[in-house]
Structure formats: C-alpha cells, structure tokens
C-alpha cells in the first residue's frame, strides 16, 4: 500500500521520505484520507485513488498486494490535472479513446488510462476544493449505482478532511486561534502594495522564565487554559476589524485590518489594565506580567525581514516598564541582539577559548601596611569587540544561566594562580566573588574540589557576596556559609551600604569581613554626610566582630580620611590598580620593600 501527499511527486512515490518541495511545518497530512481512498478503491476495484486539491497538493493511495500497481508519476499527474481541470463529475468505464489520456505517452498501454472516474470535492461552505479520482489501466464494466454512490460518499468525506486540513494549516489547536503562519499570510495580504504600512501588536503573557516555571508547576493543560483566558480578554478589548493570532506558546499578536494609524495610548493602557487583572484559571488564581509591543510594518520589510521578532522585542521591553506597553525601538533592539551575541560568545569563551583572564587587586592592612589579600577580578578581551566590561558580561552570565560555569572557571584559574604564588613563597590570601546563583548546597563541594585539585588550603580563601545576596538568605544558604566558615573559608559582605540592610540578618551572618561600598568611600574627603555614614558603618562592623575594608580608596586625601575611621584594610586605585597575574609578584615585593 502506498499513501503519499505533496505538491508534486518526484518519480515513484516514496512513502519513507518527504519530497523536497513539501515542508512538514506548512502542510498537514489529510485527515482520514486512507479510509476515504480505501472506500473508493474497494467499491470501484481500482489500483489508484488520487485527490487533487486546488492549492496544488496531491494525495494518492494504492491498495496493498496488487501485482500491477499504477504509480502516480509526473506524467500521469499532469494528465490527471488536465483531465480534471473543470472539476466536474465524470465516469468513463472505457477511457482508452479519450484524447486526454492518449496524450499521456506514446505507449498508451503503459502510460494511458483505461478507466477514469472523477468526483468534485467541496468544503463545508460549498466551495470547490478539488477532485477525487479513481483510475485503472484497463477499462471496467459500467459500475453499479452503489459503487458510484460510494465514490460520491468518499468525495464528500475527502471534502471534510480537506477542510480540517485547511483549519490545521491556519489554527493553533490549543487556543483555536490562527497561528504564526496564518499571521504572516494575512499580513502579506494586508500589505499588497510596496508602499503599504500597518501597525501590528504583540502580547507577551509573562517573562519566559516565569512562564516556564508556571508550566513546570501547573502543567501544559493549565498553561493552555491560561492562554485561552488571555485570548478572551484580548478579544473583548478588540474592535471587529481586528484579528487575533497565537504566535508562540505564551505570545499573541493582533493585526488591525485596514488600520494605518497607531493605536491611541489610552487604548493600549486599557489593554494592559485588562491583562494585569488576576486570572482565575481552572480554579487557580494567577497574576501575569504582560508586555504589549507595537511595530509599524512596511510592505517591503516582509521580504526577508521578521516583523514578528521585532515587535516581540518591544513587548519584552514593555514587560519591564511600569506602563506595560512600548513601541519598537531600533536602538534598544540592537542592544538586545548584542547581548544575545555576547552571551553566545561568553559561552564559547568559557569552554573553548582563552579570552578570559583574571586580574588581581591588592588589599592592604592599614596597621602594618602589608598586602594581606588579592581580589580576583574576571576580565574578557573579545577578539573583535575588544575589552568587555564585567558590568556587562557578569549580569548577562546570570541571566543566561552561565554564572555557575563562570564561577567554576574563576575557582579553577584563581586557585591555580594562588598555588603558584604560594610555591614561590608569597604570603597572600585570595578573595573570590560569588553570585547568588552559586549560593546553594553544592558551593562548598565545588570550592573544596578546586582547592584539592590545586593543593590550596581553604583558609587561604575568602568568598565575597554582595550585601543583597548575603543578607537576604534562608536557612539553607546560612548552613552553606556556616559550613564554609568551619572549613576555614573567609566570608566577606561586599558593596555594603548601598542595599537594604537587615541588621538582624547581619547579626546572624557567619561573615568575617565587611567591605564598605566604594561609592560611599570616594567622597570621604569632601562630603561630611558620607564620612558620618562610613564611620558609623565601620563601628557597626567592628561591634559585630567583622574586619572592615574600605573599597574605592582612589586618592591620598581619601586614604588620609580613612585612617581616622577605624577601618582595617583598604583597597582601590590609590593602593593599586587590578594587576595581570604576571605583575602581581613584582608589585608585592616592591610594596613590601617600601614598607607601606
């Protein structure tokens, strides 16, 4: 048995491979076609049943076990199309003298048709969709009325299947809305002239990470029901000349037919307000964080462009705004694309390349003038972009799920370098910055594994957490920090003074060091309020048993001001810039020789 479909065959039908001219994402198989064709083939006793649709698609069936199968090759398909081009009902028990079939080839006994039956296929609305053909090489006796009726019934069923296929080609099954392919088809129809323009609207239900978490927690059934509820609210907001589409798992699009002006801001505010009202979906209430994007599309942009991607860029930006909607901004889009490029490049740099390196900034003890620690700072020199700031690539690593890989790289390279310095007799500790992503039950094991691999004692290490990470912790993270302290690792609270400090949590923190943020330290010599705040923080840190480090000591006058505030260590450009690893040993020896 051969069953096949496609716009055009390529020689003998191949039931194992999709022809190059057919794209699975664009063409659905015809529902129920095998049953329809088997009914017609059995009733008329023919070796080939074919369905030719007006959109150019062809479906054919040959019953199994026939010794002399009739393949629908290119030549025969062309003849069938020509013979059935009028789409009328036709029954030819002996078609050998019909000129339409004699023209199939020189040898009519091989390429010609002896029996031909044709029934028009109609859609549910009465529109003609194509024809159903029954063919054989040799002539047949005139079929009984029941056989002819079976062919008509098969054509009727084929029309139902073709209608369903057309529906599937345009419709998302979860919401019943036209899908992305239908959106683009309608948009092209909406912009017939090269100078035509249209405004399109995209709606993002929730940030991708949050929507994925929703699916994990509640399942796809809940997510589908939520999107249907969201579609209903959007349709209640729409006017009759608008069409709604499901263009992604959590994304809708609106195409205002015949509208050439942007929607008024008040109307967009109304849509956002409607979508921000909590949904009661399957008995489970949920508030979304929708984003509505707008884009003006010109007809020429449909040739090779992707307006849907650009309007979704605007909806992504809108999710982070208070108003909840945004018009597409090219410069903002370019920044997002650049960020994506940087994320992919950072992943490659972490696994394959040598663009990342560590620089080390000394921390000096005020009382002795001795360098007691080096803070490892990641640096990235991209081969084409040049130096990429940590302020750019570290947040991107956190957003893209690369932070653990970056931290493991930091552990491995930083501890390898520390081991080399210790072997050379340099008496230093190493401070490593750690993200909130890393603060889990595996952190101690990851650090211990790296330390063992490089032969570094854990008491030579200090981990730095930002104030927000360190203060807003739970019992699990507290247990992790306690375990690190018991292993001898120092714990520093970095950037202290610029967050929302919880003094009770600070009191219970198993930390050893408080690093006051450089933004407060830089103005100590000129701003009295900063000096008062820093002095109070230093006193608080000492009362809680922490060593106090002043970051951002960039001038001699700031250093002089710091000396009167009871801090323990200083760090900043006046002490030393972050140094490449090759320069650290020389700086340490020179600093020790100066005695300050």
Looking at the structure of the chain, the number of domains it has is 3
Q: How distant, in Å, are the alpha carbons of 181, 188, 190, 191 from that of 185?
A: 6, 5, 9, 10
Q: Residue 572 has which token pair?
A: 């900043």
Residue the block writes with tokens 């003890």? 365
Mean per-residue pLDDT, 380-388? 90
**297 near 197, Cβ under 8 Å?**
yes
Local confidence band at 293 (pLDDT 50, 70, 90 cut-offs): very high
How far apart (Å, rounded) are the C-alpha atoms in residues 271 and 335? 27
pLDDT confidence band for 285 (50 / 70 / 90): confident
| 148-187: pLDDT as tens digits | 899 999 999 988 887 777 666 777 777 888 888 888 888 8
Banded model confidence at residue 16, pLDDT cuts 50, 70, 90: very low
CATH number of the domain at 300, please: 3.30.70.270
Residue 565 belongs to a domain:
yes
- The answer to whether residue 334 sits within a structural domain is no
Residues 105 and 232 in one domain: no
338 pLDDT above the threshold of 60: yes
Within-domain flag for 175: no
pLDDT tens for 144-159 read 888 889 999 999 998 8
Which tokens hold the place of 180? 């992305």
pLDDT > 50? residue 2: no
pLDDT tens across 71-112, in order? 777 778 888 888 777 888 989 999 887 877 765 443 433 447
Same domain? 92 vs 223: no
Sign of the four-CA dihedral 59, 61, 67, 68? negative
**Lowest pLDDT segment from 77-81, 321-325, 442-446, 589-593:** 77-81
User: Looking at the DSSP assignment, which residues form a beta bridge with residue 251?
Assistant: 204, 248
**Confidence band of 238 (pLDDT split at 50, 70, 90):** very high
Domain boundary among 150, 170, 190: 170
pLDDT for 104 equals 45
Percent pLDDT > 90 in the chain is 37
Which is it for strands 58-62 and 2-6: parallel, antiparallel or unpaired?
A: antiparallel
Task: Please say if the pLDDT value at position 210 is more than 90.
Answer: no
- 185 in the same domain as 164: no
Please compute the mean of the pLDDT values over residues 37-64 and round it to a whole number: 87
Picking from 142, 146, 119, the residue whose alpha carbon sits closest to that of residue 130 is 119
Query: For residue 457, what are the domain limits?
Result: 339-594
* Pair 163, 243 in one domain: no
Strands 371-382 and 279-281: unpaired
Instruction: Classify residue 137: in a domain, yes or no.
Output: yes
Displacement of CA 2 from its chain's centroid (Å): 40
The beta strand positions in 9-155, using DSSP E, are 48-53, 58-62, 90-92, 115-122, 128-136
Give 68's pLDDT tier (boundaries 50, 70, 90): low
- Verify that 374 and 484 share a domain, yes or no: yes
- Whether residues 128 and 193 share a domain: the answer is no
Report the candidate in 271, 265, 259 with the shortest Cα–Cα distance to residue 235: 271
pLDDT tens column, 484-507: 999 999 999 888 876 655 676 677
Q: What is the CATH number of the domain that holds 503?
A: 3.20.20.450
**Arithmetic mean of pLDDT, 384-397:** 90
The verdict on 221 and 365 lying in the same domain is no
In a domain, 388, yes or no: yes
Do 430 and 578 fall into the same domain? yes
Return the structure tokens found at 531.
Answer: 């000096």
Domain harbouring 113, CATH code: 3.30.450.40
Whether residue 43 is contained in a domain is answered as: yes
Same structural domain, 479 and 584: yes
What whole-number distance in Å separates Cα of residue 462 and Cα of residue 470? 14
Q: Which residues contact 241 (CB under 8 A, 6 or more apart)?
A: 256, 257, 258, 259
Which range has the worst mean pLDDT, 4-18, 124-138, 206-220, 395-409?
Answer: 4-18
- Around Cβ 243, how many Cβ atoms within 10 Å? 19
What are the C-alpha distances in Å from 345 to residues 355, 383, 406? 10, 10, 13
**Average pLDDT across the chain, whole number:** 84
Q: So what's the pLDDT on residue 259?
A: 56
- Whether the pLDDT of residue 28 is over 60: the answer is no
Residue of 209, 205, 227, 214 lying closest to 292 (CA atoms): 205
- For residue 358, pLDDT over 90 is answered with yes
Task: State the DSSP H helix or E strand holding residue 215, giving kind and residue range, or none if neither.
Answer: helix 208-218
Mean pLDDT confidence for 112-134: 86
Residues ≥6 apart with Cβ < 8 Å to 33: 3, 5, 51, 59, 61, 158, 161
Considering 132, 151, 170, which residue would you say is the last residue of a domain?
170
Q: Are residues 28 and 155 in the same domain?
A: yes
Kindly state whether residue 450 falls inside one of the protein's structural domains.
Answer: yes
CA distances from 43 to 99, 132, 147, 394 (A): 26, 14, 5, 71
**Domain final residue pick, 170, 205, 235:** 170
Query: Which pLDDT does position 333 carry in this prediction?
Result: 83
Give the mean pLDDT of 528-556.
88
Are residues 473 and 393 part of one domain?
yes
For residue 333, is it within any domain? no
277 C-beta neighbours (distance < 10 Å), count: 10
Position 60 scores a pLDDT of 87
* Interval 338-347 mean pLDDT: 88
Same domain for 588 and 455? yes
- Tell me: pLDDT of 18 over 70: no
Can you tell me the distance from the alpha carbon of 580 to that of 356, in angstroms, rounded to the nearest whole number? 12
Distances (CA, A) of 132 to 80, 97, 100: 10, 22, 17
Confidence of residue 434 (pLDDT cuts 50, 70, 90): very high
Query: Which positions are annotated as active-site residues?
Result: 551
């Amino acid at each position: 048995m051969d069953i096949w479909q496609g716009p055009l065959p390529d020689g003998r039908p191949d039931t194992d491979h999709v022809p190059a001219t057919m794209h699975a994402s664009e063409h659905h198989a015809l529902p129920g076609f095998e049953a329809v064709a088997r009914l017609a083939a059995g009733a008329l006793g023919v070796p080939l049943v074919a369905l030719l649709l007006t959109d150019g698609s062809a479906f054919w069936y040959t019953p199994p076990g026939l010794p002399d199968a009739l393949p629908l090759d290119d030549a025969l398909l062309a003849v069938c199309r020509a013979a059935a081009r009028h789409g009328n009902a036709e029954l030819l028990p002996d078609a050998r003298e019909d000129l339409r079939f004699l023209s199939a080839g020189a040898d009519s006994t091989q390429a010609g048709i002896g029996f031909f039956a044709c029934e028009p296929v109609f859609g549910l609305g009465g529109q003609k969709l194509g024809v159903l053909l029954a063919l054989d090489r040799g002539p047949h006796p005139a079929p009984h009325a029941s056989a002819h009726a079976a062919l008509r019934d098969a054509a009727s069923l084929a029309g139902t299947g073709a209608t369903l296929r057309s529906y599937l080609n345009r419709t998302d099954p979860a919401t019943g809305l036209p899908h992305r392919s239908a959106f683009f088809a309608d948009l092209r129809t909406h912009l017939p002239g090269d100078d035509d323009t249209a405004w399109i609207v995209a709606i993002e239900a929730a940030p991708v990470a949050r929507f994925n978490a929703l699916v994990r927690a509640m399942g796809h059934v809940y997510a589908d029901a939520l999107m249907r509820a969201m579609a209903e609210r959007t349709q209640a907001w729409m006017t009759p000349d608008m069409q709604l589409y499901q263009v992604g798992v959590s994304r809708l699009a609106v195409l205002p037919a015949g509208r050439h002006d942007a929607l008024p801001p008040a109307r967009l505010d109304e849509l956002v307000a409607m979508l921000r009202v909590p949904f009661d979906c399957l008995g489970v209430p949920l508030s979304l964080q929708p984003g509505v994007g707008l884009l003006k599309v010109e007809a020429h942009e449909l040739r090779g462009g992707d307006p849907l991607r650009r309007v979704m860029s605007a909806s992504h930006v809108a999710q982070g705004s208070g108003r909840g909607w945004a018009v597409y901004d090219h410069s903002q889009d370019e920044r997002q694309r650049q960020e994506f490029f940087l994320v992919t490049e950072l992943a490659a740099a972490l696994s394959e390349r040598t663009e990342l390196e560590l620089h080390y900034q000394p921390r000096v003890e005020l009382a002795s003038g001795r360098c007691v620690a080096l803070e490892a700072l990641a640096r990235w020199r991209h081969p084409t972009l040049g130096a990429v700031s940590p302020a750019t690539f570290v947040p991107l690593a956190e957003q893209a799920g690369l932070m653990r890989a970056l931290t493991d790289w930091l552990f491995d390279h930083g501890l390898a370098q520390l081991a080399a310095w210790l072997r050379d007799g340099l008496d230093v500790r190493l401070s490593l910055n750690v993200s909130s992503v890393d603060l889990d039950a595996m952190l101690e094991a990851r650090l211990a594994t790296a330390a063992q691999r490089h032969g570094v004692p854990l008491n030579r290490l200090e981990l730095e957490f930002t104030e927000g990470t360190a203060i807003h912790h739970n019992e699990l993270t507290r247990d992790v920090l306690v375990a690190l302290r018991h292993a001898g690792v120092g714990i520093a609270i970095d950037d202290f003074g610029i967050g929302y400090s919880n003094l009770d949590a600070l009191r219970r923190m198993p930390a050893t060091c408080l690093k006051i943020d450089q933004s407060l330290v830089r103005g100590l010599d000129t701003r009295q309020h900063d000096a008062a705040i820093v002095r109070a923080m230093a006193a608080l840190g000492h009362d809680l048993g922490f060593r106090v480090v002043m970051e951002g000591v960039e001038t001699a006058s700031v250093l002089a001001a710091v000396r009167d505030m009871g801090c323990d260590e200083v760090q900043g450009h006046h002490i030393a810039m972050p140094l490449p690893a090759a320069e650290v040993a020389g700086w340490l020896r020179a600093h020790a020789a100066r005695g300050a």
